[in-house]
Amino acid sequence: MGAMALSGQDLAVLRESGVAGLRGRDRDEFWLWLAGRSFTEGTREEYYKQALRYRKWLVANEAHPDALDDGAAHDDAVVAYLTEFPATHNVTLAALRAFYAYLGFSEVGVEPVDVPQAVPGALTRQEVSRVRAAAAARSARDYALVELGLQVGPTTSELLALNAEDLSLSARAGWIRLTSLDGAVRDRELTRPTTRVLEGWLAVRRSILDGDGCRRPRIRSEHALFISLNTRQRFEDNRSLRRVVARVGAAADVVRPLLNPARLRATAETRLLASGMDPREVAAWMGQKHVNTPRVRALMGGAGALSAVVEVGSEPQQLSLDLGL
C-alpha cells in the first residue's frame, strides 16, 4: 500500500481483520487511502487533518446533507466551507479534492485562488558582504551555515538533517548531499571558498565534540553537521536554526525583514537565475520538482534583485578563529 506508515503488526491485523481491527486513525479508510498514494508524509498529514475538519463541519452544518453522497452537491458544500474558512483556501481545496477522489466522485469544480507569490527578498551585494563578515566574527559554525546557504541554498529542513558524513571535502573540490523532506537526495558541488569555510567548521566541531579545553557538559551529537555550541546537540527544530541566522543578520544590520535560511536560499537562487541559467536547471539545482514561474518572476523582478548576484567564485571573509569556548 505505497508509503503506508503502519507497523508490521498493524499490517498483519489489516490482513486478518480489515480496517476494524486497527487502532486510532489507522481505522479511517481515508487515511489508508492517502497512505497508499505518493504524497509526502507532511502532505498526507495535512490532507487528513483538513478533511477531518471538513467532515466535522458537515456534521454540524445541516445545509448540505448530501455533500458526501451526491456528486452534484459537493461543490456547493466546498464553496460554503471555503467561504467560511478562507485563510487556507488552496491547501484545503487540494485536501478536499483528494477526499472526494477517495469517495469516488468527480473532481471538485472549484478553482484555486490566485495567491500572490510570497518570496523572501534576496540579499544585495553589500548585504551579502556584511552578513559574511558578521557570521565569520560570531563563530565558525555560523560562518559555515551562512556560506552554505548563500552558495547552495538548502531549505531549513535540509540544513537540520545534514550530517558530517554528507560532506565530501578534498583539496580540489567539495560536495554535499542534501536530503529533502520527501526523501529525495541530491548532490551539489561546492566552490573552493565554501569548501574551505566548511573545513574550518569541521575542525572546530571536532574540538567541541571532544571537549578540548571546554567545561560544557559532555553531551554529544556525533553525526549532526550543525550543532548547538552550548549543548553540542543537533538543532531540535526550525526555530533554533532560524534564531541563529537571525542573530547573524542583526549583527550585519539586516533586520527588515529578518535574515533567515529562506532569504539565504532566495539569494542563491537569484544568483543562478541572473547568471542566465535556464529556470528548469535552477529548479533542479534547488531541489524543486517543477519551475515555480511566479517565484522566478518575483525573484528577478524584485527591487535590487540583480544587485543581489554574488559571483560563484567570490572569496568569503577570512575565517574567524575566535571560537568563544
Confidence check: pLDDT of 273 > 50: yes
According to the model, what pLDDT value does residue 197 have?
96
What's the mean pLDDT in 291-299? 83
Enter the C-alpha cell of residue 21.
481491527
pLDDT digits (tens, 9 = 90+) for 40-90: 778 888 998 998 888 888 888 888 888 887 767 788 888 888 888 776 788
Confidence check: pLDDT of 6 > 60: no
What's the mean pLDDT in 248-264? 93
CB neighbour list of residue 121: distance below 8 Å, 6 or more residues apart: 257, 263, 266, 302, 303, 304
Q: Is this model's pTM higher than 0.75 or not?
A: no
What's the mean pLDDT in 170-189? 89
According to the model, what pLDDT value does residue 86 have?
75
pLDDT digits (tens, 9 = 90+) for 83-110: 887 767 888 888 898 988 888 887 777 7
According to the model, what pLDDT value does residue 300 have?
85
According to the model, what pLDDT value does residue 322 have?
36
Domain boundaries, the chain: 8-103, 125-308
Beta-strand ranges (E) seen in the chain are 167-169, 174-179, 185-190
pLDDT-derived band of residue 308, with 50, 70 and 90 as boundaries?
very low
Q: Is 55 helix (H, G, I), strand (E, B) or coil?
A: helix
Residue whose C-alpha cell is 452544518: 61
What's the mean pLDDT in 167-188? 90
Instruction: Count CB neighbours of 125 within 10 A.
Output: 15
Cβ contact 2:43 at 8 Å? no
Cβ contact 131:248 at 8 Å? yes
What's the mean pLDDT in 265-278? 93
CA distance 40 to 61: 31
pLDDT-derived band of residue 23, with 50, 70 and 90 as boundaries?
low
Cβ contact 224:162 at 8 Å? yes
pLDDT-derived band of residue 287, with 50, 70 and 90 as boundaries?
very high
According to the model, what pLDDT value does residue 27 have?
64
Region of 277 please: left (phi>0), alpha (psi -120 to 50) or beta. beta
pLDDT digits (tens, 9 = 90+) for 111-122: 766 555 567 889
What is the overall mean pLDDT for the chain?
80
pLDDT digits (tens, 9 = 90+) for 199-240: 999 999 998 888 754 555 445 567 899 998 888 888 877 888
* Sign, Cα dihedral of 225, 226, 229, 233: negative
Cβ contact 193:313 at 8 Å? yes
According to the model, what pLDDT value does residue 254 have?
94
* Sign, Cα dihedral of 38, 41, 42, 44: positive
- Prior bond to 257 cis, omega within 30? yes
What's the mean pLDDT in 28-44? 82
Higher-confidence position of 118 and 7? 118
Secondary-structure breakdown of the chain: helix, strand, coil percentages, each rounded to the nearest 5: 55, 5, 40
What's the mean pLDDT in 122-133? 95
Q: Is 152 helix (H, G, I), strand (E, B) or coil?
A: coil
Superfamily the domain 125-308 falls into: Intergrase catalytic core (1.10.443.10)
Instruction: Count CB neighbours of 141 within 10 A.
Output: 22
Cβ contact 147:132 at 8 Å? yes
pLDDT-derived band of residue 127, with 50, 70 and 90 as boundaries?
very high
According to the model, what pLDDT value does residue 12 have?
55
